[in-house]
């Protein structure tokens, strides 16, 4: 290879480096070309923390990640700023779905997701009326969440949540049938009955509210054991207890 050829090749390499280096730098800093808006934008991300672990994360019907076995979380990065239809799913559980917006240079969080088991098994207990009274006396609903930051306000048809630190109250949900007892399922979900249906609802009111029908009994009276994660149901003089519902 003569000197002239080497010079030409070197010049070509320098030109290609000068051409591609800015693109590589911009890409590493999260810049992307958005074909929808026809402009260069900086990307954002979505962060999820889910119980139970190893849940599948899908965006716009495409699987993107699985939450960590150790931290139960997932960070999906380099997303164009727009809205995404999110689904968190795991076999044997109701999926969690919500539309979330990603903004430039920001991470949108949904870090209090609890997946609710489908059709949990409830066993009939052979107990006397006195034993039932003794058991249910331990499980009275409290308006304040265990973290002390949120307060339930409910009447026969509506449920509101007051966030004490933020001094903000939000309307959560309304039903035509009467709402029975309302318990804190955990610090971010409620468990209650509406008519014959026992429901679990999240309190994250962004977009759609995730509400599942957990079970159905005739005129049930429910009692929630938050310590052990078990549901007790009194229906037609029979007393039932669920398997553990929380991870």
Measure Cα distances from 91 to 87, 138, 175, 221 in Å: 13, 33, 29, 29
Q: List the end-to-end C-alpha distance of the chain, in Å, as a whole number.
A: 69
Q: What is the pLDDT of residues 46-76, one digit of tens each?
A: 999 999 999 999 999 999 999 999 999 999 9
Q: What is the pLDDT of residue 121?
A: 87
Q: What was the pLDDT predicted at 120?
A: 87
Residues 91-127 have pLDDT tens digits of 999 999 999 999 999 999 999 999 999 988 899 999 9
- Tell me: pLDDT of 194 over 50: yes
pLDDT of residue 233: 97
Q: In Å, what is the CA distance from 31 to each residue of 64, 74, 164, 199, 213?
A: 20, 22, 39, 44, 43
Model pTM score: 0.86
Confidence grade of residue 9 (pLDDT, cut at 50, 70, 90): low
Whether 13 shows a pLDDT value over 60: the answer reads no
Would the pLDDT of 23 be above 70?
A: no
pLDDT tens string 163-177: 999 999 999 999 999
Q: What is the mean pLDDT of the chain?
A: 89
So what's the pLDDT on residue 8? 58
SS (H, E, C) the chain: CCHHHHHHHHHHHHHHHHHHHHHHHHHHCCEEEECCCCEEEECEEEEEEEECCCCEEEECCEEEEECCCCCCEEEEEEECCCEEEEEEECCCECCEEEEEECCCCCEEEEEEEECCECCCCEEEECCCHHHHHHHHCCCCCCCECCCCCEEEEECCCEEEEEECCCCEEEEEEECCCCEEEEEEEECCEEEEEECCEEEEEECCCCCCCCEEEEEECCCCEEEEECCCCEEEEEECCEEEEECCCCC
Quick one: pLDDT at residue 37? 62
Residue 151 above 90 pLDDT?
yes
């Amino acid at each position: 290879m003569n000197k002239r050829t080497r010079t030409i090749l070197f010049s070509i390499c320098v030109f290609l480096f000068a051409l591609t280096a800015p693109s590589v730098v911009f890409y590493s800093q999260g810049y992307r070309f958005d074909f929808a808006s026809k402009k260069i934008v900086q990307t954002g991300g979505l962060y999820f923390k889910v119980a139970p672990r190893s849940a599948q994360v899908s965006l716009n019907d495409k699987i993107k990640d699985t939450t960590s076995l150790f931290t139960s979380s997932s960070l999906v990065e380099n997303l164009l700023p727009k809205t995404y239809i999110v689904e968190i799913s795991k076999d044997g559980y109701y999926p969690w779905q919500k539309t979330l917006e990603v903004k430039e240079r920001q991470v949108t969080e949904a870090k209090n997701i609890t997946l609710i088991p489908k059709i949990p098994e409830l066993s009939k207990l052979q107990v006397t009326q006195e034993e039932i009274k003794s058991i249910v006396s331990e499980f009275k609903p409290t308006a304040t969440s265990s973290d002390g930051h949120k307060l339930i306000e409910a009447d026969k048809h509506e449920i509101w949540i007051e966030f004490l630190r933020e001094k903000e109250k939000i309307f959560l949900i309304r039903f035509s049938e009467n709402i029975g007892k309302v318990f804190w399922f955990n610090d971010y979900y409620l468990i209650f009955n509406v008519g014959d249906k026992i429901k679990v609802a999240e309190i994250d009111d962004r977009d759609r509210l995730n509400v599942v029908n957990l079970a159905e009994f005739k005129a049930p009276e429910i009692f929630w054991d938050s310590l052990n994660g078990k549901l007790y149901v009194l229906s037609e003089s029979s007393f039932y207890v669920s398997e553990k519902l929380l991870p």
